[in-house]
Structure 1
Amino acid sequence: MTDIVTVDEDGRYRLHLERRLHHDCDRVWRVLRLLHPACGGTDMVCRVRPPSLLEYACGEIALRWDITSVGPSSSILQFSHHCPCRQDGIEEMGWWLTEIEVLGELLDGVVVTDFRRRADAMTEHCRRAFE
């Protein structure tokens, strides 16, 4: 597990999360697409390369998921979120940390019913950590 947050000298924010998952790329891809079924829209650019890449960009905000196989039944998921404003990034960090956690639970067959509550709690934790 790797979690890295950087803010450059101009205040641009980047979150990088990496998780080793005990599921193959195809399974991870299917669950990821359940969480993010649509790609595209007004002013949105996206790249989709199943089962290894999902990327959205809208203006200066970019989201990217890379899935790499590390054996017949394991993979590494790398997620990155870039945005031009530190505060906006911190506000969204809790959501992405929760989503990565929930993705792992969904892969393991857990029924998740409390995503919003968990994301709100994690967002508040991130706000306090970066005050």
Structure 2
Amino acid sequence: MTPDAYHPSPLAQVECAATEDRWTLVFTRELRHPTEKVWAALTEPEQLAAWAPYTADRNLSEAGDATITMIDDEKPQDMTAQVVRAEPPTLLEYTLGTDLLRWDLAATDTGSRLTLRHTVQDRDWIPKVAAGWHLCLDVAEKLLDGHPIPPIRGAAAVDFGWSELNDQYAQKFGIPNTGLPEHVEDADEPTC
């Protein structure tokens, strides 16, 4: 796929919440698919590898330890994860390095509403994480539609609109745009 063949969807409904010394991105997206189908995309390693910046060593549908392999760089990196809560097909919560990701799914008349709460340590990461998940969820939606496109992750995401999305989300949050992460390979936060 070339950058000319893909255009990011409109900005998602987002919020930023402070929690003690950490920050949480709340990213909501309406999907045209039932919660069970979206749940499978969030938990099955093969489906994760098709759209996310990582895959898992097991299905994430059950609580317990897991290994998440970041595949958004040239050199895959294993990270320890802990599935804290798994309530198929509506709630998935797990740690990823120092981050906490919580995926809530609710049935709607037209499919489902996906709400991701991604908690990070540094407020400056909020627009970056929003831009990354925006691209990843565009790819996930194509996968769910039955028209998959290659994953958009890592440094290649810049060619597919990541910088513009980062800027737009930074403006929306009122957070200064600090640009690309200097050491993406060392960061705990995934970039797609």
Task: Name the CA shift for 1:30/1:114 in 2 (closer, same or farther; >3 Å).
Answer: closer
Residue identity opposite 1:26 in structure 2: E
Tell me if structure 2 keeps the 8 A contact 1:92–1:123. Answer: no
8 Å CA contact 2:30, 2:112 repeated in 1: yes
Sequence identity percentage = 25
In structure 2, list runs of 5 or more residues that go unmatched: 1-10, 49-54, 61-65, 68-78, 171-176, 178-192
Normalising by structure 2, report the TM-score: 0.55
Q: Is the 8 A contact 2:104 2:114 kept in 1?
A: yes
Q: Is 1:115 equivalent to 2:152 in the alignment? A: yes
Equivalent-residue separation in structure 1 for 2:81 and 2:151 (angstroms): 29
Q: CA deviation at 1:63?
A: 0.8
* Greater helix share, structure number: 1
Output the CA distance in 2 between the equivalents of 1:19 and 1:94.
Answer: 13
Is 2:61 aligned against 1:51?
Answer: no
Q: Which residue number in structure 2 is paired with residue 22 of structure 1?
A: 32
Letter in 2 for 1:45: Q
Name which of 123, 142, 167 aligns with 1:128.
Answer: 167
Q: For residue 97 of structure 1, what is the aligned residue in structure 2?
A: 134
Alignment RMSD? 3.0
Instruction: Report the Cα offset of residue 123 of structure 1.
Output: 3.3
**Distance of 1:85 and 1:9 partners within structure 2:** 11
Report what 1:77 is aligned to. Answer: 114
Deviations 1:94-115 (A, max 9, x none): 2211112222111111121252
Bigger Cα displacement from structure 2, 114-123 vs 83-92: 114-123
Whole-Å Cα distance in 2 between the matches of residues 6 and 89 of structure 1? 7
Q: Which amino acid aligns with 1:15?
A: L
Structure 1 letter corresponding to 2:101? L
1:64 aligned partner? 102
Say how many residue pairs are matched.
130
Q: TM-score, normalised by structure 1?
A: 0.76
Q: CA deviation at 1:19?
A: 1.8
Provide structure 1 residue ranges, at least 5 long, that are not aligned to the other structure: none
Deviation, structure 1 residue 126: 4.2
